[in-house]
Amino acid sequence: MPKSPTITHLDVFNGDADGLCALQQLRLAEPVAPERVRLVTGVKRAVRLLEDLPTPPAGTQVTVLDVAFGPNRAGVERLLAAGARVRYFDHHHPGPLPALPGLEAHIDTAPDVCTSLLVDRYLGGRQRAWAVTGAFGDNLADAARLAAKPLGLAPAALEALRELGELLNYNGYGERVADLHCHPADLFRALAPYADPREFAARAPLVDTLRQGLAADLARAGQREPALDVPEGVVVLLPEAPWARRAQGMLANRLATAHPERATAVGVMFPGGALRLSLRAPLARPRGADALARRFGGGGREGAAGIEALPPAALPDFLAAFRAAFARA
């Protein structure tokens, strides 16, 4: 019986648009035979992807994309100690970054940068259309349009990249993979053959599934009255349901885009009453989301962050802190 091919690469990526499009760029520019790569991913909020990763053989190339360094520090150190090489691309607050042999870190927390744009920088723009798609998906519309300028795209083509980025991002939201329309690893395998994201958008049946699902979920979310609607921002709370978990991030992005001068928070209820919150700083002043999230046990980046489990009793304190964090001086 022939031996199975040896796994030489571990590709670890966030299951949202930014992680998918960052990896797509790298694998188009640096192909590796699929049978030699293990994909490690999950729902968007699965941030500790290196924690339970089996220790690979020495010499394995581990590429990590759009996964916060801080929660995975111990995993990185374990992989390096075993002789793996770790290449890390991310834009979330990393905490102190160690200088360790075998670690190649490309981390930039600027509010107008996402992982897809970091990979685009690394590759010198060789797969720019996918970087633009990822930036749109991460709700960095201005940065996406700026990156797209050298491509000379017609408005309809740019709109196709925007929609695809949003749909890929939508697919990553959920508490568990069963909430999603498609497992992110399977979604990446579907993307992999396409050098041009517009071709994928036009040909893949999954795109229509995501488009219809997003419209239905946002329609239900739009029926909820805000829990807070003030000059500083808006807070919407959604019930415990798969559609609410899928809609959470996209609703937060849509509200942030519609009201660029105001902050946004969208919470989803979980058993016991705890809230999982997605935060967006005002697009006009994209700072402060990560600092607010860390006060309540969460994290993220300056423009967008999250809180995993806000106790019901802490909601009044959060609402007060939300208003204070984004009040204009």
Question: Given 174, 194, 212, which residue is the final one in a domain?
Answer: 212
Domain identity same for 244 and 121: no
Does residue 1 sit within a domain? no
Domain identity same for 41 and 172: yes
- Per-residue pLDDT 10s for the chain (329 aa) are 556 679 999 999 999 999 999 999 999 999 999 999 999 999 998 989 998 899 999 999 999 999 999 999 999 999 999 999 999 999 998 888 888 899 999 999 998 999 999 999 999 999 999 999 999 999 899 999 999 999 999 999 999 999 999 999 999 999 899 999 999 999 999 999 999 999 999 999 999 999 999 999 999 999 999 999 999 999 999 999 999 999 999 999 999 999 999 999 999 998 888 999 999 999 999 999 999 999 999 988 889 999 999 999 999 999 999 999 999 75
Rounded to 5 degrees, what are φ and ψ at 235?
-125, 125
The secondary structure element, H or E, covering residue 129 is helix 128-137
Domain identity same for 127 and 267: no
Q: What is the CATH number of the domain that holds 280?
A: 3.10.310.30
- Sequence-distant (6+) residues with CB within 8 A of 285 are none
Does residue 217 sit within a domain? no
Domain identity same for 129 and 50: yes
Question: Given 159, 187, 212, which residue is the final one in a domain?
Answer: 212
Does residue 82 sit within a domain? yes
Domain identity same for 189 and 257: no
Domain identity same for 146 and 234: no
Does residue 4 sit within a domain? no
Range of the domain at 148: 9-212
Task: Output the pLDDT for position 99.
Answer: 83
Q: What is the CATH number of the domain that holds 50?
A: 3.90.1640
* Whether this model's pTM surpasses 0.85: yes
Domain identity same for 202 and 298: no
Domain identity same for 198 and 235: no
Domain identity same for 58 and 182: yes
Please give the angle made by the CA atoms of 93, 184 and 286, to the nearest 5 degrees: 30
How far is Cα of residue 270 from the mean position of the Cα atoms in its chain? 21
Does residue 2 sit within a domain? no
Domain identity same for 204 and 84: yes
Q: How many domains does the chain fold into? A: 2
Domain identity same for 193 and 267: no
Domain identity same for 165 and 242: no
What whole-number distance in Å separates Cα of residue 123 and Cα of residue 87? 14
